Structure 1
Amino acid sequence: MANPKEWGPVVWKIIHTCCEHLGNNTITLLKNDELNAYKKFINQIRYVLPCKICKIHYSKHLHNHNKEIQYDELKQYAKEFFYNIHDSINKEKNIVSIPFSSLETTYGKITKEEFNKLISEFETLFQKYKLYHFILSETLRDFLKAIRNLRSSCCWI
């Protein structure tokens, strides 16, 4: 079985990094693409979590806190949405979360190249644990596509 202590930090780093790079487009078409990519990404996450409890927890949080947003709200909303769920998980495990104000300095400076390495690390972990047996390959493919689409639509440093 997969160890959440190993795959969890990679998944959280991917999520928080995506959030920090949202909301910087100035062209309407690109804004729409980014918003659509974010919506697909946020919905795909629950299907690739290898831990049943994690899937349930995320799905409940998504159901209770997800809302329709406009592009100008995207970055702040996404940061708060994922920070709050991450913080609630950390509290359950008696782990102190980084301050919300530290998200930008922690994840905002991650470059596109570094982010690509995170995606590769994520894929390697899934292969290492043979999670393809627990998650349909099509589901994993769709999640990776959602990450790549979001990465492509965001503005990177």
Structure 2
Amino acid sequence: MNHLLENWEQKAKDKQKDNKYFVQKLQSKRGKGVEKLLPELHEEAFSQIDCLQCAGCCKTISPRFKAPDIKRISKYLGLKESVFIDTYLRLDKDEDYVVKRTPCPFLGTDNYCSIYEVRPGDCENYPYTDSYDFFKRPNITYENSTICPAVYYILERLKTIMK
């Protein structure tokens, strides 16, 4: 295991304030090519991280379920959309549909997703470490650094690269 990932959860908590500042600083450097580093760092991180060993995202946060997601997942489960919504979803403070509780009801004890083939777009794109969204939402990125080892890893690598 890479030394950056040893005890990453505690390190991420300890570095929350620094990481928040760093991500906000990164946002202003986007134009200087920093985002071009993300695809390679994303590949590097996920060559060392197995999501099935973690599933921190599925255990602690919910994706947004947009209308196309609801339609697709309802059909896959053989449920009417209204039944799917009533059974699994609630509206959050931003009026987005999210799961009623965590961990996600579609997460199995083996950390596999029972709706993986039709999962919400947010799940498919999470943790946004290979795209502009990494910088677009700095508060979410720094919070994700305590949920996802890949986000923590990439932030730490960026700190080293940008010294």
TM-score by length of 2: 0.32
Relative contact order higher in (CA < 8 Å, ≥ 6 apart): 1
Q: Larger helix proportion, structure 1 or 2?
A: 1
Larger radius of gyration: 2
